[in-house]
């Protein structure tokens, strides 16, 4: 049983490759919970906290914000580097669990675990985020849209880690909001909607809608969005798009709600979030 404390990405990857049941330890908010429940047998842990490259966030000249995998939810929630539509990620971060969980959990841990109800997931889709990965065969980049493959299944290869999340600049003047329906404060989402919206006067110039909690993976339906661009986001148009997005979801029955409930409510919530986003965008201009 080993516990390693690497300081570089390469050391971390090497440490992971050293054994069978060796896992990266980020905040531990999920990993320790499942270990306590006896759902994993760990043989080794690689503590990511000391890997400098995974910490902090930065903004490059083109407006891309790079969030280190070990960045705490609390920090991301208050990250002023995220502007315009990029705020959707900060908004999601601020609604994860409760303050104590946000003091522990990291974006890398959340994205790697890929709980279909996790708050970051739909917001990463809406923000067109890209994941920087590093593994035994080197580094690569995977768009968030291609990262989530199935129920808690991701594009991460064996012993590959998330190094950072890159959030490209959002359209100028766009808004980014994240809305979450949950049974109580601090719970995972029953249904959630992430929205990035740019208005040109009364006309929708750009819109991206990510949905969480309603499918084994987060959902985005580009066709539905394209149909809205150029419209004034009237109720009928939004309703058509919302239904199209809902049709793309395969919700499951779980303790939070039935699949039928999600199918019924999701289009209405999308409608509500788009209306709210539009309102904010119009007020802002």
Ligand X SMILES: Cc1cc2nc3c(=O)[nH]c(=O)nc-3n(C[C@H](O)[C@H](O)[C@H](O)COP(=O)(O)OP(=O)(O)OC[C@H]3O[C@@H](n4cnc5c(N)ncnc54)[C@H](O)[C@@H]3O)c2cc1C
Backbone torsions φ then ψ of 258, nearest 5 degrees: -85, 160
Question: Can you give the three-state secondary structure of 148-175, one letter per residue?
Answer: EEECCEECCCCCCEEEEEEECCCCCCCE
Instruction: Pick one of 187, 200, 206, 239: the residue that binds another protein (CB under 8 A).
Output: 187
**Would you say 64 or 103 has its CB closer to ligand X?**
103
Angle, CA 217 vertex, CA 256 and CA 192 arms, to 5°: 50
39 binds another protein (CB under 8 A): no
243 binds another protein (CB under 8 A): no
Two tokens, residue 86? 């990029």
Residue 145 partner contact from another protein, ligand X, none using kind-dependent CB cut-offs of 5 to 8 Å: none
Instruction: State the binding string over 206-245 for ligand X (x if CB under 6 A, else -).
Output: ----------------------------------------
Supply the minimum distance, in Å, between the C-beta of residue 262 and ligand X: 17
Instruction: Pick one of 228, 257, 274, 281: the residue that binds another protein (CB under 8 A).
Output: 257
Is the CB of residue 21 less than 8 Å from the CB of residue 65? no
Supply the minimum distance, in Å, between the C-beta of residue 105 and ligand X: 2
Is the CB of residue 48 less than 8 Å from the CB of residue 26? yes
161 binds ligand X (CB under 6 A): yes
Alpha-carbon distance 98 to 101, whole Å?
Answer: 5
Q: Which stretch binds ligand X (CB under 6 A): 23-31, 135-143, 197-205, 240-248?
A: 23-31
**Would you say 109 or 271 has its CB closer to ligand X?**
109
Backbone torsions φ then ψ of 63, nearest 5 degrees: 95, 0
- Burial bucket for residue 10 (CB in 10 Å: 0-12, 13-18, 19+): middle
Q: Which stretch binds another protein (CB under 8 A): 22-30, 61-69, 205-213, 235-243?
A: 22-30
48 binds ligand X (CB under 6 A): yes
101 binds ligand X (CB under 6 A): yes
Alpha-carbon distance 100 to 148, whole Å?
Answer: 27
Instruction: Pick one of 42, 81, 152, 227: the residue that binds another protein (CB under 8 A).
Output: 42
Two tokens, residue 188? 């995972």
Instruction: Pick one of 61, 158, 185, 236: the residue that binds another protein (CB under 8 A).
Output: 185
Supply the minimum distance, in Å, between the C-beta of residue 151 and ligand X: 15
As a whole number of Å, the CA-based R_g of the chain is 19
SS3 state at 199: strand
Residues that bind ligand X (CB under 6 A): 23-31, 33, 48, 69, 96-97, 101, 104-106, 108-110, 112-113, 118-120, 161-162, 188
């Amino acid at each position: 049983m080993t516990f390693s404390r690497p300081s570089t990405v390469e050391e971390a990857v090497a440490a992971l490759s050293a054994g069978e049941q060796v896992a990266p330890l980020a905040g531990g908010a999920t990993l320790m919970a499942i270990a306590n429940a006896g759902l994993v047998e760990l043989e080794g842990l690689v503590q990511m906290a000391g890997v400098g490259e995974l910490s902090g966030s930065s903004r490059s000249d083109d407006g891309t914000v790079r969030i280190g995998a070990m960045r705490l939810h609390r920090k991301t929630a208050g990250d002023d580097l995220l502007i315009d539509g990029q705020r959707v990620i900060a908004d999601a971060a601020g609604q994860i669990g409760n303050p104590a969980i946000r003091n522990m959990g990291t974006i890398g841990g959340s994205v790697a675990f890929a709980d279909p109800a996790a708050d970051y997931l739909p917001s990463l889709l809406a923000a067109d985020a890209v994941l920087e990965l590093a593994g035994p065969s080197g580094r690569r980049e995977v768009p968030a849209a291609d990262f989530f493959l199935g129920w808690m299944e991701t594009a991460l290869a064996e012993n590959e880690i998330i190094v950072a999340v890159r959030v490209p600049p959002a359209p100028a003047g766009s808004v980014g909001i994240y809305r979450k329906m949950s049974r109580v404060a601090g719970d995972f989402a029953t249904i959630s909607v992430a929205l990035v919206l740019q208005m040109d006067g009364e006309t929708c110039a750009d819109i991206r809608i990510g949905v969480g909690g309603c499918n084994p993976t987060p959902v985005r339906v580009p066709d539905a969005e394209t149909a809205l661009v150029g419209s004034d986001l009237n109720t009928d148009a939004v309703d058509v798009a919302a239904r199209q997005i809902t049709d793309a979801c395969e919700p499951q029955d779980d303790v939070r709600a039935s699949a039928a409930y999600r199918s019924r409510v999701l289009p209405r919530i999308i409608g509500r979030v788009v209306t709210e986003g539009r309102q904010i965008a119009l007020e802002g201009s």
